[in-house]
Amino acid sequence: MLHCPKCGSIVKEEELYCVSCGVELPNDIHLRSINNKKFNKIWFIPIITIFITLLANNLFYNFLQNQSSQAIKHYELGAKSLEAGDYEAANMYFTLALKEKPNFNQGEVALEFIQKTSDITSLLEEANQELENNEFQTALTLISQAESSLTNFNGIATTDLVDEIVSFRDHVKIEQLKSILNQNPSVDELKVLLWEADAIKNNEATEITDTIRNQIVEFIFTEASKQLSENQFSDALFIVDDGLKYAPNSEKLQSLKTTIEKEKVSFEVTQQQRIQQAIDTAEEEREMNEKDAIELTSIKLENDDHGNLVVKGEVTSVATIPISSIQVEYSLLTKDTEFLSNSVYVYPDTLYPNENGKFEFTHYDIGKDVKKFDVKVSKITWYTNY
């Protein structure tokens, strides 16, 4: 079979030109027998293009994988450094992670957190300076700003930092409470301070809470006792109930409330009977005094932490039956001259044979040295339960 030596198309022996490409055919038939048909190279182009594209994609994918792997390694090292508190090393590793992978979101967040810690450190240092100047509210405002800046972060390092901020805030609040307490606040102010101190959960705050609660109890007891002594039973109960909101476990206030309620019922319901009972009791008191129904064990004067004069004492029941509503009347003397007289109820309200009871009264309007006064019990009264 004869072929065109130019394009390789089939030709006939008698043809002088190739009908396909138009080239003049050689006269030598032997030259026409060689097939020089060229392969159409255009078919190679898409194949080569696809191959190159796949190869480039594969290389780029491997490159990105290697970048991600290195970025993750640096990020993990940074996270460990952050948990250990080494912020400088953490910053270096997170920066390397972002160099390996510029759009590494976790790395960007971590670096932002480190920057926040720097800002927080500055805020806390400023708050500490305000604390030293007794500018407590300004210090607390700065601490709140520091805490709010961590709202969008989480993790162990964030939790540790938040705990540190909360601890510092509690310290500032405690110092603020101490400062206010040193200014002899009113009972209403003490009530507010009690809730603030109780909200702080540490040992020092617990001690302050107990101190405030005891001050409230003493004030309530004194005020309610004054109302009771004037037969203002409703006012006395209101004062005691208000105090029990702040010191619900106070035996002193609970006992006083029992006393007030008994006195109120007795006064309102059986007033006429109480007159007769008073007459009978007066005779019984005379007989019981002859038998030492109530024995005064001790009585003393002292000053509390605020310089107020406090009368404290103890009695013992030597009666053969239970007695209740025991009232001790006493006088304060200066150079054997009576300065004032007062009465106070013994708690618990009811004493059984051989039981001891205590009484205590704080004179807030007398801030003098106890050495200038003497105390003398003038009378002890009580009611029998039978």
pLDDT of the residue at 120: 81
pLDDT along the chain (386 residues), means of 10: 78 77 77 57 54 50 51 67 66 66 63 74 89 91 86 74 87 91 89 90 90 93 93 93 92 94 84 72 64 86 86 92 91 86 94 94 79 88 78
Q: CB of 16 within 8 A of CB of 24?
A: yes
pLDDT of the residue at 386: 64
Partners of 328 in the β-ladder: 344, 380
325's torsion region: left (phi>0), alpha (psi -120 to 50) or beta?
A: left
Put simply, whether the predicted model's pTM sits higher than 0.75 gets the answer no
pLDDT of the residue at 28: 74
- Interior angle at CA 144, CA 138 and CA 150, nearest 5: 150
pLDDT of the residue at 17: 76
pLDDT of the residue at 258: 94
pLDDT of the residue at 39: 46
pLDDT of the residue at 244: 93
pLDDT of the residue at 208: 92
Which parts of the chain fold into alpha helices (H)? Answer: 29-32, 44-83, 87-100, 105-132, 136-148, 156-181, 187-198, 203-229, 233-246, 251-269, 271-290
Q: How many angstroms separate the Cα of 60 from the Cα of each of 47, 52, 71, 363?
A: 20, 12, 16, 89
